[in-house]
A and B are shown apart, each in its own frame.
Chain A
Amino acid sequence: MSSLSRDDVANLARLARIEMSEAELVSLSSEFTVILDAVARVQEVAGADVEPTSHPLPLRNVFRPDVVVASLTSGEALSGAPAQEESRFRVPQILGEE
């Protein structure tokens, strides 16, 4: 039985850095029960002897030579920046420890 409580959704929202309203948390929680039941079907058929695919193509060893390529100018790099100072991206105070 797969379901997500409102608190479960709140934890996930925190992990995903989305500030959800109470109403959103509650409604998502109820939607998920339906969705999760539907997608839990994969467990029916995914046996231990089946290899997972993470690439549709059987490629191996795709590398790039160690050669320097022209970078963007700092102007181009910062062109979308919501805030900048002295050619650096300016961001609000970071709470988490480095």
Chain B
Amino acid sequence: MALTYDDVIAKYEPVLGLEVHVELNTKSKMFCGCSTIFGGEPNTQTCPVCLALPGALPTVNEKAIESTIKIGLALNCSIAPFSRFARKNYFYPDMPKNFQISQYDEPICVNGYVDVEIDTDEGPKVFRIEVERVHMEEDTGKSLHVGGATGRIHGAEYSLLDYNRAGIPLVEIVTKIVPGTGKYAPEVAKAYVAELRDILRSLGVSDVKMEQGSLRCDANVSLRLIGAQTLGTRSETKNVNSLRSVERAIRGEMIRHAELLNKGERVVQETRHFQEDSGLTRSGRSKEQAEDYRYFPEPDLIPVAPDASWIETLRAGLPERPSIHRKRLQEAWAVPDKEMAAMINADVLNIVEATVNLGADPTKARSWWLGEISRIANDKDVAITDLTITPGDVAEIVALVNTGELTDKLARQVIEGVIAGQGKPAAVIAARGIKVVNDDGALMAAIEKVCAEQPDTAEKIRNGHLPAAGALIGAVMKETKGQADAARVRALLLSHLGQGE
């Protein structure tokens, strides 16, 4: 019988460990000058260095160092006065040198933290996630597995390798172990990754798009009996490609571990792959025998000893922390906590802010983005940011509603048109002939026509049965192709039928 999550947390407490890899948005690769532009023809962005031809030597990208220091500072880390690159030795065809240049016992940033706020039963609670280290390394090439059933590695006949992505700069952020989250472990993990993403985005050092792989999360989970001191065996879950997946993966692993432990079985220390569709993990490489990477300092590169004044300049240039930024917006817009959380959860805060910056009222901006536009995104099963509509478009539409040139109902039509690719708001309005019918004369003509067509309903209203007005108003709206202002129609109709004020 499958356990429920409540069963699990009644007996066990989880311990987390999160490793996040960030692709930096530098123009050139970590150790050579090849372009980092995505989507090029295979093997057109390679050179002797990133192909690992005999005789090639790496050279360190200065911008990558700068970005990594900024990340460390934003995560409250100490910047190591002396750090080195190291070789991590193992064989794999997507890694041309058969070692990865990374950092081992001398990483560039250490001992930081990130605070995240979660809604708990006892109200909002802050969890501090300690960051063990932030270090630099390089990404691998990409392989296509040919001949197997699913394009995956199992059963493939052969593989094709493209090294355009080999050598892209990566920053790895590793947390210390995170105990004490109890039943909120999945939410805490998700909030941590979201906060990291927002911080990295505000620093401008990466695109941080989980779906595109510029932000990758590996989640480590172990369970122990509540109150126990020793740690349980952990499993590592990879292929977690969205914030929602982070939450689901951890929840799923907690249940899986508990089921094993309840049966008296061992949790195997291994790498697992998250399955988007089922929310479960599949066994991957066994990590029972830790691979011996034979780390040693990279002899082709020189140690990094960042100048203290350089670090201070970078520190002074850091942008406002996302959490402070959010508090400031919340105050400025007078948004209740629940609505704030809704915006953050739906990931529309930046978009709403951009819309407000273009002159829209915060409440209106929020209600359009969280309401109609979110609904359309959900229907199309895409992210809001993938829709064709921009903050500028929404600000323009809000302005038009304010001046009465659009009603809310008409605004919805314009939004739908913009998203459908019919152009900017002005173009959609012109093309569809959308305009509010303000002319009382035209409205009266429609009202009289409708009353003539529905004399019984009109009679009911004359006799004081006001709810019946709805049907007539609807008819007038139809008559005017929805371009009448419904409130005005109601006023005119009631007045016409002797029920006006």
B is a partner of A: yes
- Chain A interfacial positions (CB closer than 8 Å to B): 15, 17, 54-55, 57, 59-69, 71-74, 77-78, 80, 85-94, 96-98
Q: Is A89's CB under 8 angstroms from B160's CB?
A: yes
Known contacts A66-B61, A77-B163; 19 further A-B pairs (Cβ under 8 A) = A54-B296, A54-B297, A61-B305, A62-B59, A62-B301, A64-B33, A71-B35, A71-B46, A72-B47, A74-B42, A86-B42, A88-B144, A88-B162, A89-B161, A90-B160, A91-B160, A92-B159, A94-B153, A94-B159
Closest chain-A Cβ to B2's Cβ sits at a distance in Å of: 27
Contacts of B271 in A (CB 8 A): 97
B302 near A93 (CB under 8 angstroms)?
no
Cβ of B28 under 8 Å from chain A: yes
Task: Work out how many contacts link A and B, with CB atoms closer than 8 A.
Answer: 132
A57 to B301, CA, bound (A): 11
20 CB contacts below 8 A, A to B, read A15-B292, A60-B305, A62-B301, A64-B33, A66-B61, A66-B64, A67-B33, A68-B28, A72-B48, A72-B51, A80-B53, A87-B41, A87-B42, A88-B42, A88-B161, A90-B158, A90-B159, A91-B160, A94-B92, A94-B156
A94 to B148, CA, bound (A): 12
Say whether, besides A66-B64, A78-B43, A94 and B302 are in contact (CB < 8 Å): no
Q: Would you call A87 and B153 a contact (CB within 8 A)?
A: no
Majority SS of interface residues in chain B? loop
B404 lies within 8 A of chain A by Cβ: no
In the bound complex, what is the Cα–Cα distance between A93 and B152 (angstroms)?
11
Chain A residues lying within 8 Å of B299, measured Cβ to Cβ, are 54-55
Query: How many Å from the CB of A32 to the closest CB on chain B?
Result: 17
Return the chain B residue nearest A92 by Cβ: B158
Q: Given that A64-B59, A68-B35, A69-B28 are contacting pairs, would A91 and B158 also be in contact in the complex, using a CB cutoff of 8 Å?
A: yes
Residues in B302-353 with C-beta less than 8 Å from chain A: 302-307
Cβ-defined contact, B153 with A98, below 8 A: yes
Smallest CB separation, A63 vs chain B (Å):
4
CB atoms of A69 and B302 under 8 A apart: no
Complex Cα spacing A92 to B296, Å: 30
The residues of A that contact B284 with a CB separation of less than 8 Å are 97
Q: How far is the CA of A88 from the CA of B166 in the complex (A)?
A: 13
Q: Which 4 A-B pairs have the closest CB atoms?
A: A69-B33, A66-B63, A88-B160, A63-B62
A94 to B476, CA, bound (A): 70
Proximity string of chain B (64-108) to chain A, C-beta cutoff 8 Å, 1 when within and 0 when not: 110000000000000000001000000111000000000000000
Q: Is residue B26 within 8 Å, beta carbon to beta carbon, of the partner chain?
A: yes
A75 to B63 Cα, complex, angstroms: 30
Residues of chain A contacted by B62 (CB below 8 angstroms): 63-66
Taking a contact as CB atoms under 8 Å apart, the answer to whether A87 and B43 are in contact is: yes
Does B60 count as interface, using CB distance less than 8 angstroms?
A: yes
Which residues from chain A contact B303 at a C-beta distance below 8 Å?
Answer: 55, 59-60
Complex Cα–Cα for A91 and B92 (A): 11
Residues of chain A within 8 A (CB-CB) of B32 are 69
Option from B60, B84, B144, B160 in Cβ contact (under 8 Å) with A63: B60
Q: Please give, as numbers and ranges, the residues of chain B lying within 8 Å of A63 by CB-CB distance.
A: 59-62, 65
Q: A55-B299, A67-B28, A86-B42 are in contact. Are A93 and B158 (CB under 8 A)?
A: yes
